[in-house]
Chains A and B, each alone.
Chain A
Amino acid sequence: DIQLTQSPSFLSASVGDRVTITCRATQDIHSYLAWYQQKPGKAPKLLIYAASTLQSGVPSRFSGSGSGTEFTLTISSLQPEDFATYHCQQLDSFPPTFGGGTKLEI
């Protein structure tokens, strides 16, 4: 299975900050990567798919980039509702796998 490593695992930031989360794959996954946001007690929510395509309804302060083995999720100006855990998922190789998550804290 392809392993995804997210960094950092924990991130402290403030409202208005620009933050970047990285997801690295153990082999080339082309652009078949998604990012999800999860709040406590809730299901994950799809933010970005195909590495850089913003899901409908997701604020434009979220963006994704990368291809191959290294990907980033950037939040350009943190809002209070953005404090959550973020997960990446690869869909290039079967079975789909997820990263370990990045908890974004105030």
Chain B
Amino acid sequence: QVQLQESGPGLVKPSQTLSLTCTVSGDSISSGRFYWSWIRQSAGKGLEWIGRIYTSGSTDYNPSLKSRLTISLDRSKNEFSLKMKSVTAADTAVYYCAGEIGKGYEKYWGQGTLVTVSS
């Protein structure tokens, strides 16, 4: 059973960089069985797909966020990470990491972590 766990600061100041890590257990992030993605959920906008990273290290980003995003892999730690720069209050949300199958269906999810952007 694949399990994912998000970690990172719960409070980020406006204009700073949000950094989250997702630790994967039960599978190697290099196995190729899954793509690894980030999704967020805010009260105002519902669920929003942020981006994904493939085993190869290539990435897909939501065009609405692309200029501010970096998703990367750390194979030695079996982790992948999200960095979002220049955050504003609109980036306040619960952030989930997920493992995707097939066309991109989100099969496995982390428990989610609340990130609040506030000074």
A: residues with CB less than 8 A from B are: 1, 32, 34, 36, 42-46, 49-50, 55, 87, 89, 91-92, 94-101
B48 within 8 A of A: yes
A95 B63 Cβ-Cβ under 8 A: yes
B46 A46 Cβ-Cβ under 8 A: no
- Which of the 9-residue segments B9-17, B26-34, B77-85, B99-107 touches chain A? B99-107
B60 within 8 A of A: yes
Q: If A32-B103, A50-B102, A94-B60 touch, does A43 touch B47 (CB 8 Å cutoff)? A: no
Nearest-Cβ distance from residue B59 to partner chain A, whole angstroms: 12
- Please measure, in the bound complex, the distance between the C-alpha atom of A55 and the C-alpha atom of B107, giving whole angstroms: 9
With both beta carbons as reference points, the residue of chain A lying nearest to B37 in the complex is identified as: A96
- Please measure, in the bound complex, the distance between the C-alpha atom of A1 and the C-alpha atom of B46, giving whole angstroms: 15
With both beta carbons as reference points, the residue of chain B lying nearest to A34 in the complex is identified as: B105
In terms of DSSP, what is the predominant structure of the interface of chain B?
strand
B: residues with CB less than 8 A from A are: 46-49, 60, 62-64, 96, 101-107, 109-112
- Please measure, in the bound complex, the distance between the C-alpha atom of A45 and the C-alpha atom of B111, giving whole angstroms: 11
B105 A95 Cβ-Cβ under 8 A: no
B109 A43 Cβ-Cβ under 8 A: yes
B109 A45 Cβ-Cβ under 8 A: yes
Nearest-Cβ distance from residue B103 to partner chain A, whole angstroms: 4
- Please measure, in the bound complex, the distance between the C-alpha atom of A92 and the C-alpha atom of B103, giving whole angstroms: 8
Q: If A43-B112, A50-B102 touch, does A95 touch B49 (CB 8 Å cutoff)? A: yes
- Please measure, in the bound complex, the distance between the C-alpha atom of A45 and the C-alpha atom of B112, giving whole angstroms: 12
A46 B105 Cβ-Cβ under 8 A: yes
- Please measure, in the bound complex, the distance between the C-alpha atom of A101 and the C-alpha atom of B48, giving whole angstroms: 12
In the assembled complex, which residues on chain A have CB atoms less than 8 Å from the CB atom of B109? Answer: 43-45
Q: If A50-B102, A91-B103, A91-B104 touch, does A98 touch B110 (CB 8 Å cutoff)? A: no
In the assembled complex, which residues on chain B have CB atoms less than 8 Å from the CB atom of A89? Answer: 47, 49, 105-106
In the assembled complex, which residues on chain B have CB atoms less than 8 Å from the CB atom of A99? Answer: 46
- Please measure, in the bound complex, the distance between the C-alpha atom of A101 and the C-alpha atom of B46, giving whole angstroms: 8
In the assembled complex, which residues on chain B have CB atoms less than 8 Å from the CB atom of A96? Answer: 49, 104
- Please measure, in the bound complex, the distance between the C-alpha atom of A84 and the C-alpha atom of B119, giving whole angstroms: 34
